[in-house]
A and B are shown apart, each in its own frame.
Chain A
Amino acid sequence: MRQVIRNPGILFGTAVIVFLIFVAVFAGFIAPHDPTETHLKDRLSSPSSEYPLGTDHLGRCILSRIIYGTRISLSVGVLVIGASLLLGLLLGTIAGYYGGIIDDLIMRIVDGFLAFPSMFLALAIAGALGPSLTNLMIALIVVEWTSYARVVRGSILSIKDQMFVEAARGLGAGDIYLLTRHVLPNTLSPLIVMATLGVGYIILTAAGLSFLGLGVQPPTPEWGAMLNDGRLFMRSAPHIMIFPGLAIMITVLAFNFLGDGLRDVMDPRLKQEVIE
């Protein structure tokens, strides 16, 4: 625990994430303007006291849109990773624990999905389903669950034949009991690290897909879509794309810092290297 507190990455990452959650929850109180309200008289204006980060091509307050955008990015990241984790845990556990044909079948499916570069598969699925936030999340889950299934299966295979599991089985423990009490807790730490880094990656990818017009639809404030709005006004009003990009970077960086720090603390092999 002391290591967790001392690790600067974990500290920084957690602080920023807590701040972002605060912003997302209290967006209604913090934001100076309504994020979708247009002020055509003030369109494309530079940062000022009225609009701290300026306005976009419809005169909407960029700061307010970024503040409300926190809600979308955080929830997409957490929901997609949560669902992928559940799916990966379920299928990975079944594959690893029961083995045989079931294992072969599940792992071949995993291989099939992993054969695509993830961005292309997500693009194609989100595109085929049609642009919407829900479809974007479905596409990201389809792409993401496979790596969790693989990791879960791998660690179950390495644990299930060890003595302590055998011993518990000898004492009459059932499958479900063995899995939840002995096998799964041992796969937890790599999963926590993966999931933390995964949230950052999903936020980045979701923003990218929304930037391409395949995610959140206007006028909902979303960071990637805001960047896309700013494209045409890059010369006259670069602030439209600078600030949402900064928001994406800081958020993703926070999750990467936290995940990287957690890996140092949780992975005993790396810990040794640090101690040396």
Chain B
Amino acid sequence: MLWYILRRVLLLLPTLFLVSIISFSLIYITPGDPAEILLTGPGGGADPKAVEEFRVRMGLDQPFYIQYLRWLNDVLHGDLGYSYMTDQPVADTVFGSFLSTLKLAAVSMVIALLIAIPFGILAAMKHNTIIDDLSRLTALIGVSIPNFWQGFLLILIFSIYLGWFPVAGYGDGGDLKHIILPAVTLGTSSAAVTMRLMRSSMFEALEQDYIITARAKGLHERVVIGKHALKNALIPVVTMIGLNAGFLLNGSPIIEVIFAWPGIGRLVVSSIYQRDYPMIQGSILFVAIIFLTVNFIVDILYTYINPRIRYEAGD
């Protein structure tokens, strides 16, 4: 097992290298000189002296590979540079907003699983009936609804008409009242996919011989499903948590903008508007590393739970 983990870590290295190059290169695909664009006010052209000064100060006058190596060296020491806008360290801002996103994602994940697991089980038990068809239809609708639209509808109904929740904002450190609507918006869309997976793995588990044995023993159906089948059916759902992490991260820019949630998605969007390149580079890199780590842990967990994969992988 240890050897397997070690090998997987080594395989991550080239990916990490490429991820850092892609993140860093973002500033280079921008048409024009970032310093000039940044210093050009609404009144007209930028002062050439100020532009030159800014370029030297930010190291933008160096060739690409020097800039990259400098940046990489800093990154490896935990320094993601300083924001063009606020002069604050990028690493602090990124980490702070990531914690807000994490909070939102955790609540969304709970909502998703609370919906997906019972309804997935129900659909599997009643497979090929109207209930199963309905669950499939709901899941398809769930992945087709634009989450920004769904967010607005929730705001319209629950904040504007009913007045139950605030329209948007972070409140007192992201309290329950403020987190509910964005978390429901994010959670329901990932619930759709999880529910289908729960259904198919439950369905598979119910076909196994030990279920027939359990039923033949005269066990109550509740025990058969809840104890025997569910335990095995939950294994693929574990990987689903990894997939969900990607789903929740992908939803965060739009949801956080709509609900004014100070997370990493909103940070990326606002840094793009402000052309705050160190912030864009830093947050994109950070998000990718988090995403890679989550998938890595899920992979390892999955192999641990289900050793068959390890051998199939040819170790």
Contact partner of B146 (CB less than 8 A), chosen from A109, A204, A257, is A204
- Per the bound structure, the CA–CA distance linking A211 and B269 in Å amounts to 12
Kindly state whether residue A103 has any CB partner on chain B within 8 Å: no
B124-155 CB mask vs A (1 if < 8 Å, else 0) is 00000000000010001101111111001101
Kindly state whether residue B288 has any CB partner on chain A within 8 Å: yes
Q: Are A108 and B18 in contact (CB under 8 A)?
A: yes
Residues on B with C-beta less than 8 A from A252 are 144, 146
8 Å CB contacts to B: which residues of A91-115?
A: 108-109, 111-113, 115
Closest to B295 in A: A115
Q: Are B250 and A118 in contact (CB under 8 A)?
A: yes
Q: Are B291 and A116 in contact (CB under 8 A)?
A: yes
Q: Are B284 and A127 in contact (CB under 8 A)?
A: no
Kindly state whether residue A123 has any CB partner on chain B within 8 Å: yes
Q: Are A241 and B291 in contact (CB under 8 A)?
A: no
Kindly state whether residue A120 has any CB partner on chain B within 8 Å: yes
Residues on A with C-beta less than 8 A from B257 are 212
Kindly state whether residue A30 has any CB partner on chain B within 8 Å: no
Residues on A with C-beta less than 8 A from B246 are 117
Residues on A with C-beta less than 8 A from B145 are 249
Q: Are B250 and A120 in contact (CB under 8 A)?
A: yes
Q: Are A124 and B268 in contact (CB under 8 A)?
A: yes
Contact partner of B272 (CB less than 8 A), chosen from A109, A118, A119, A214, is A214
8 Å CB contacts to A: which residues of B264-282?
A: 265, 268-269, 272-273, 280
Residues on A with C-beta less than 8 A from B21 are 112
Q: Are B140 and A248 in contact (CB under 8 A)?
A: no
Kindly state whether residue A194 has any CB partner on chain B within 8 Å: no
Total interface residues in chain B, CB < 8 Å: 46
Kindly state whether residue B22 has any CB partner on chain A within 8 Å: yes
Closest to A246 in B: B149
Interface size range of chain A in the complex: 35 or more
- Per the bound structure, the CA–CA distance linking A72 and B148 in Å amounts to 19
Residues on B with C-beta less than 8 A from A108 are 14-15, 18
Contact partner of B249 (CB less than 8 A), chosen from A117, A204, A208, A230, is A117
- Per the bound structure, the CA–CA distance linking A128 and B34 in Å amounts to 10
Contact partner of B155 (CB less than 8 A), chosen from A109, A116, A212, A234, is A234
Q: Are B29 and A116 in contact (CB under 8 A)?
A: no
- Per the bound structure, the CA–CA distance linking A115 and B272 in Å amounts to 20
Kindly state whether residue B251 has any CB partner on chain A within 8 Å: yes
> Among A112, A118, A249, which residue has the most Cβ atoms of chain B within 10 A?
A112
Residues on A with C-beta less than 8 A from B136 are 260
Kindly state whether residue B27 has any CB partner on chain A within 8 Å: yes
Closest to B31 in A: A130
Residues on B with C-beta less than 8 A from A213 are 273
- Per the bound structure, the CA–CA distance linking A108 and B12 in Å amounts to 10
Contact partner of A113 (CB less than 8 A), chosen from B22, B152, B287, B292, is B22
Q: Are B143 and A256 in contact (CB under 8 A)?
A: yes
Beyond A115-B19, A120-B253, A224-B148, 14 extra complex contacts between A and B, CB < 8 Å: A112-B19, A120-B287, A121-B284, A124-B268, A127-B272, A128-B29, A128-B280, A212-B254, A213-B273, A234-B152, A241-B152, A242-B153, A249-B144, A249-B145
Chain A residues with CB under 8 Å of chain B are: 108-109, 111-113, 115-121, 123-125, 127-130, 200, 204, 207-208, 211-214, 224, 227, 230-231, 234-235, 238, 241-242, 245, 248-249, 252-253, 256-257, 260
> Lowest 3 A-B CB distances belong to which pairs?
A112-B18, A245-B149, A127-B272
| Contacts A/B (CB < 8 Å), 13 sampled | A112-B18, A112-B22, A115-B18, A116-B22, A116-B284, A116-B288, A117-B288, A117-B291, A125-B26, A128-B27, A213-B273, A224-B146, A256-B143
